Amino acid sequence: MPHTNRRVFIRQYREGMPQLEDFGIEDVALPEVPSGQVVVKVDTLSMDAWIRTTLTPGSFHETAPLGSTIRALGVGQVVESADPSLAVGDWVYGMLAAQTLALVPAAAMTKLDLSNSLKPADYVGPLGLTTGLTAWVGLIAVAEVKAGDTVLVSGAAGAVGSMVVMLAKARGARVIGVAGGPDKCRYLTNQLGADVAIDYKNADVAAAVAAAAPVGINVFFDNVGGEILDIALENLAPADARIAICGAISQYSDLGNVRGPAKYLRLAERNAAMRGFVVTHHAARFPEAKAEIAALMQDGKIDLPEHMVEGIDHFAEALLLLFAGGHTGNLLVRP
């Protein structure tokens, strides 16, 4: 059957922060569905920091070609199938991109398990690869958080940061969250249960971290990089602290001049470890992660707030909102 897709594409590259005029929107007709592929009606797209690094030539994620649909992970429902592994009506997760209909290989999609009261949007939220699973892998598989740890989280009011806060609290840790503005700080303490919230826009962050963790930080989950990483290094616990490098959104607008940590010698001085991670390298532990997160959801200990933007025509606006930090919780687009 014929399908018309509305998509958001990359019109031009720009040094520094993208602008709305760098993106275009158009309607295109989908071709006949080849064997092994499916057409998916896109339901919800996850707005993730990594998308920023596909919009700049020479970035450490593969640069998306000009004219291509902006990459984004999402969930949707199969409306036409030319592969026996997926039937019309199945819900799937994968790289659906910024569009209303996706023609994709069936093998690239993950069929969703919607038992136990799970919703499709949970797979771009608490159970999402770039949200809940990233938080779980960084905090638990990489940083090995344990009860009694003091955990510092940068970018704590975003989707991954919010999940880290809730997972750390569920594991019995004391949590210090760093976010921008009083509203986000209230969100951290009142909604997520963080013990301390530090407003990097209005506070002396170095002094605030030192006051909040007088005997040092055991775990630092870094989403931001830059100055906050140095502050964390300066305030590490005397022995066996762990730093998980998830991302560095403060550096993504000028990847040719990334600021590295000046205080890295604290790692040696305090017998600490700093490790970056890619979530997909820990796929063997995804079943364990999903089971723990789903159980915490059922117990009411994880409830990730959503900031929903309606309409594919507003995808680029949502992307700029993400880059500006103008949201709390999980930023999503519903085409």
**What ranges do the domains of the chain cover?**
4-125+305-334, 132-280
Instruction: Check pLDDT > 60 for residue 240.
Output: yes
Reported as a pLDDT band with limits 50, 70 and 90, residue 229 is very high
pLDDT at 62 (0 to 100): 75
Give per-residue pLDDT as tens, 14-46.
887 899 999 999 999 999 999 999 999 999 999
Write the pLDDT tens digit of every residue in 200-214: 999 999 999 999 999
What pLDDT is attached to residue 147? 98
Determine the pLDDT at residue 115.
Answer: 84
Q: Could you report the per-residue pLDDT of 294-323, keeping only the tens digit for each?
A: 999 999 999 999 999 999 999 999 999 998
Helices 227-234, 205-212: inter-axial angle, 10-degree rounding: 30
Q: Between 221 and 114, whose confidence is greater?
A: 221
22-31, 52-61, 90-99, 261-270: which has the minimum mean pLDDT? Answer: 52-61
Q: Is the pLDDT of residue 109 over 70?
A: yes
pLDDT at position 53, please?
82
Q: How confident is the model at residue 258 (pLDDT cuts 50, 70, 90)?
A: low
pTM to 2 decimal places? 0.91
DSSP element (H, E) containing 161: helix 159-170
Is the predicted pLDDT of residue 253 greater than 90, yes or no? no
Strand partners, 28: 5
pLDDT at 252 > cutoff 60: no
Percent of all residues in the chain with a pLDDT value above 90, rounded to a whole number:
83
Cβ pair 235, 243 in contact under 8 A: no
Residue 21 confidence (pLDDT): 96
Is pLDDT larger for residue 234 or for residue 262?
234
Q: Which residues contact 165 (CB under 8 A, 6 or more apart)?
A: 153, 156, 175, 177, 188, 192, 193, 194
Is residue 55 very low, low, confident or very high in pLDDT (cuts 50, 70, 90)?
Answer: confident
What is the pLDDT confidence band of residue 61, given thresholds at 50, 70 and 90?
A: low
Counting every residue written for the chain, the total comes to: 335
- Left, alpha or beta for 187 (phi > 0: left; psi -120 to 50: alpha)? alpha
Q: What is the mean pLDDT of the chain?
A: 93
**H or E, element range at 250:** none
User: Range with the lowest mean pLDDT among 23-37, 59-73, 123-137, 149-163?
Assistant: 59-73
Assign domain 4-125+305-334 to its CATH superfamily: Medium-chain alcohol dehydrogenases, catalytic domain (3.90.180.10)
Does position 58 have pLDDT exceeding 70, yes or no?
A: no
What ranges in 213-271 are assigned the alpha helix state H? 227-234, 265-269
Q: Does domain 132-280 have CATH number 3.40.50.720?
A: yes
**Hey, which residues does 220 pair with through a beta bridge?**
152, 243
| 150-183: pLDDT as tens digits | 999 999 999 999 999 999 999 999 999 999 999 9
CB half-sphere exposure, 42, CA atoms < 13 A: 31
pLDDT of the residue at 244: 97
Q: Is residue 78 over pLDDT 80?
A: yes
What secondary structure does DSSP assign to 174-214, as a single string?
EEEEEESSHHHHHIIIIII--SEEEETTTS-HHHHHHHH-T
